Amino acid sequence: MKNSILKTLTLAGVLVIGLSSCGNGGDKSTDQNAANDADKQILGAGSTFGNPIYTKMFSEYGKTSGIQTNYQSIGSGAGVKQLMNKLVDFGASDAFLSNKEDSACSAKVVEFPTCLGAVVISYNLPENPALKLTPEVLSDIFLKKITKWNDKKIAEVNEGVKLPDMDITVVHRSDGSGTTYIFTDYLSKVSDDFKSTVGKGKDVKWPEGEIGEKGNEGCAGFIKQTSGAIGYIELTYALQNNFTSASLKNAAGNFVTPTLESASLCANGDIPADTRISIVNSNVDQAYPISSFTWVLLYKEQNYNNRSKDKATNLVKELWWMIHEGQAQAKPLNYAPLPAKAVAAAEGVLKSVTYGGQPILQ
Amino acid sequence: MKNRWRILENKIFVRWLSISAILTMVLLLMFFLTLLVSSWPAIKANGFSFLWSKNWDPVNSHFGMLPFLIGTLITSFLALLISAPFSIAAALFLGEFYPKGVIPNIFRNVIDLLAAIPSVVYGFWGLYTIAPLISHLQQKMHLQASGLGIFTASIVLSIMLIPYSVSLIRQVISMTPTPLKEAAYALGSTRREVITKVIIPSNISGISAGFLLSLGRALGETMAVTILIGNAPELPHSIFSPSYTMASVIANEFTEAVDEIHTGSLIEIGLLLFVVTTIINLIGRLIIKRAIA
């Protein structure tokens, strides 16, 4: 009996090992056709924010080039991890790599912006008045220092608006997201108080008593349901669903309503060569202050994991297309396209990508 | 020849069964080990205070799981408490009063269908219908009227639990030996007396098993709870407060967590959820054993 249990255990072990080794079997194929096909298949993963526009861009690009791109919208953090583990050809993220993440990568990773996203402040008040907010008032609301809608500080910037005597219910994104990152990045820039008590990040510790909701749809649903609620949602989502959004006072002192144009303007300043820049609170005259790039990341040296030169070239050409012809896909899908200065910076990054030390784009 | 084939066939069959059983066990063990290994950096960094600290601050790398543990236990047990009377009543109706016929059949299928609704649908249904009702209630009680919190999550969760407990309890009840019931009737018992004094006591272990099954489901439920609980990592003041559960924080933060300690802490929560579920299951089994003895 003992013997038979032992035998079974060994058999089970062999089965497990057999199953796990199956995965490595396919690499040795020498069939030339198969190799060509593999070179035309690009795999990317990351940002859920960029998913709609990336899917559209890749399907358009595939029609003319024959390149098949499979984009998995698994979240920015997971996309970066997949790239670090060299499981995808490119990653996509709503935040540029921190120094810590950068040093955790086994090889040099470069990144460039593909389009812009913005975060709008949405609210639900009786009679739906148009609200103006200043950075100070906004951070006080999210720090729970202002708790009533008829607070003097809100009334001061909204002369002539009838504000109800109601509690403010603050809602934030509970899932780690680029939207939260951009929003807290902005508040940390404009308020030292916010920076020291909450700080910036994809997940942060919000003051007690605030509600967390999952996803844009959760936050938007909550705001729609709850009189007196205020929260932040992505511009694309707000535009598609006609949400009421507050105009914000920007660094130049103008109150600006969030639109694709005003969000795009944020990026019309100077952009460093590595494109790692936070553009929130831009001092461009009519810029909406809470916007940010979304990035695509790839290895600077493309000769790794036995990748062919053809594949690397296909990848870089496709990414080049994204920042040029691909930009036409942005506005119809409610994304803010890259302004000229940002395109120039992105071109510089793509030209720096090499295969075996030689630049891929001539 | 034919005989030898039959012996061989039998051997293969028995071998197949034992391999399957052992593989399941191996898988569970590997699961546990993977969780332990991946959470090790966080276990080292957080220390034991992870268990009782109530500060969850990813920006400053402080991780404490107490609010999640408390939130998980309160929502799950409250949901079980709310669903219990309804599940037993429905199970008695279908198992004892009307075990056969067209209408009970429809009822049975409808209850089973409750289990087939995706939990995200429950979540949004709760957000759009239950939350406004709770919000009115909160206004009358002069509480923060968000409509979201432990109570809202528990109500929706309790509906999600009903099919699990009902289907098991109904089967157990319908298998009560007829002589037992007939004896009780012969002694002049009313139908209510037969139910409370014969059917329920004689099936107590099966009924508990039904609840245990649904409790396991409640502890691990993620999507609906995440939408309805308010996701606030703080110790609740009342059952109307927003709270947070272990499964929810993993679902919320895991995809975007890049920092090693942050990811590790989330996996550590997963490990502890595994442990908590096992402990509750063991306690449940112990109670069932006692009840039988």
pLDDT in tens, A91-125: 999 888 888 888 888 899 999 999 998 999 999 99
- A177 and B251 within 8 Å at the Cβ level: the answer is no
pLDDT confidence of A3, banded at 50, 70, 90?
low
Whether pLDDT at A20 is above 90: no
Q: Which of B19, B233, B255 has the CB atom closest to A11's CB atom?
A: B19
Whether pLDDT at B293 is above 70: no
Q: Is B59 on the interface with A (CB under 8 A)?
A: yes
pLDDT confidence of A22, banded at 50, 70, 90?
very low
Q: How many Cβ atoms from other residues are within 10 Å of residue B74's Cβ?
A: 19
Gap between the Cα atoms of A296 and B111, Å rounded: 47
- A77 and B257 within 8 Å at the Cβ level: the answer is yes
Which residues contact residue B92 at a Cβ distance below 8 angstroms, ignoring those fewer than 6 apart? Answer: B173, B195, B199
Whether pLDDT at A7 is above 70: no
B107-114 contact pairs (CB < 8 A, 24+): B108/B170, B111/B162, B111/B163, B111/B166, B111/B167, B112/B163, B112/B167, B113/B163, B114/B159, B114/B160, B114/B162, B114/B163
| ipTM over 0.90 threshold | no
pLDDT in tens, A145-166: 999 999 999 999 999 899 999 9
What average pLDDT is seen over chain A?
A: 88
The region of weakest confidence among A2-6, A179-183, A257-261, B244-248 is A2-6
Q: How many Cβ atoms from other residues are within 10 Å of residue A116's Cβ?
A: 24
Q: Which of the pair, A19 or A122, is modelled with greater confidence?
A: A122
- B252 and A9 within 8 Å at the Cβ level: the answer is no
- For residue B248, list chain A residues with Cβ-Cβ distance below 8 A: 174
pLDDT confidence of A12, banded at 50, 70, 90?
low
Q: Quick check: helix, strand or coil at residue B144?
A: coil
Fold (CATH) for A118-267? D-Maltodextrin-Binding Protein; domain 2 (3.40.190)
Q: Which of A76, A201, A221 has the CB atom closest to B127's CB atom?
A: A221
Q: How many Cβ atoms from other residues are within 10 Å of residue A337's Cβ?
A: 22
* Domain boundary assignment for chain A: 38-116+293-359, 118-267
Whether pLDDT at A203 is above 50: yes
pLDDT at A23: 43
Whether pLDDT at B162 is above 80: yes
pLDDT at A99: 84
- B57 and A205 within 8 Å at the Cβ level: the answer is yes
pLDDT at A35: 64
Mean pLDDT within A180-198: 94
- A225 and B147 within 8 Å at the Cβ level: the answer is yes
- B145 and A174 within 8 Å at the Cβ level: the answer is no
Q: Which of A98, A178, A208 has the CB atom closest to B232's CB atom?
A: A208
pLDDT at A6: 53
Angle at A350 between CA A349 and CA A356, to 5 degrees: 110
Whether pLDDT at B99 is above 90: no
Candidates A3, A149, A205, A216, partner chain B, best to mutate (most B CBs within 10 A): A205
pLDDT confidence of B163, banded at 50, 70, 90?
very high
Percent of chain A whose predicted confidence (pLDDT) is above 70: 90
pLDDT at A140: 96
- For residue A167, list chain B residues with Cβ-Cβ distance below 8 A: 144-145
* Spatial contact of B219 and B76, defined as CB atoms under 8 Å apart: yes
Measured in angstroms, the CA of B227 and the nearest CA of chain A are apart by: 6
- For residue A182, list chain B residues with Cβ-Cβ distance below 8 A: none
* Spatial contact of B218 and B80, defined as CB atoms under 8 Å apart: yes
DSSP string, B40-101: HHHHHHH-THHHH----BGGGTB---HHHHHHHHHHHHHHHHHHHHHHHHHHHIIIII--SS
- For residue B262, list chain A residues with Cβ-Cβ distance below 8 A: 203
Whether pLDDT at A11 is above 60: no
- For residue B15, list chain A residues with Cβ-Cβ distance below 8 A: 8, 11
pLDDT confidence of A360, banded at 50, 70, 90?
very high
pTM listed for this prediction? 0.84
- For residue B60, list chain A residues with Cβ-Cβ distance below 8 A: 199, 205
pLDDT in tens, B67-81: 999 999 999 999 999
Whether pLDDT at A21 is above 50: no
Percent of chain A whose predicted confidence (pLDDT) is above 90: 67
Minimum CA–CA partner of B136 in chain A: A226
- For residue B233, list chain A residues with Cβ-Cβ distance below 8 A: 205
* Domain boundary assignment for chain B: 46-292
Candidates A17, A105, A203, A230, partner chain B, best to mutate (most B CBs within 10 A): A203
- A209 and B144 within 8 Å at the Cβ level: the answer is yes
pLDDT at A345: 94
Measured in angstroms, the CA of B75 and the nearest CA of chain A are apart by: 17
Q: Which of B58, B127, B230 has the CB atom closest to A203's CB atom?
A: B58
pLDDT at A8: 57
Percent of chain B whose predicted confidence (pLDDT) is above 70: 99
Fold (CATH) for A38-116+293-359? D-Maltodextrin-Binding Protein; domain 2 (3.40.190)
Mean pLDDT within B101-124: 92
- B258 and A199 within 8 Å at the Cβ level: the answer is no
Whether pLDDT at B210 is above 90: no
Minimum CA–CA partner of B148 in chain A: A211
- B258 and A101 within 8 Å at the Cβ level: the answer is yes
CATH 3.40.50.450 fits B46-292, yes or no: no
- B258 and A80 within 8 Å at the Cβ level: the answer is yes
pLDDT in tens, A24-56: 444 444 455 666 788 899 999 998 888 999 999
Residue window 127-146, chain B: list those with CB within 8 Å of chain A. Answer: 127-128, 131-132, 135, 144-146
pLDDT at B222: 93
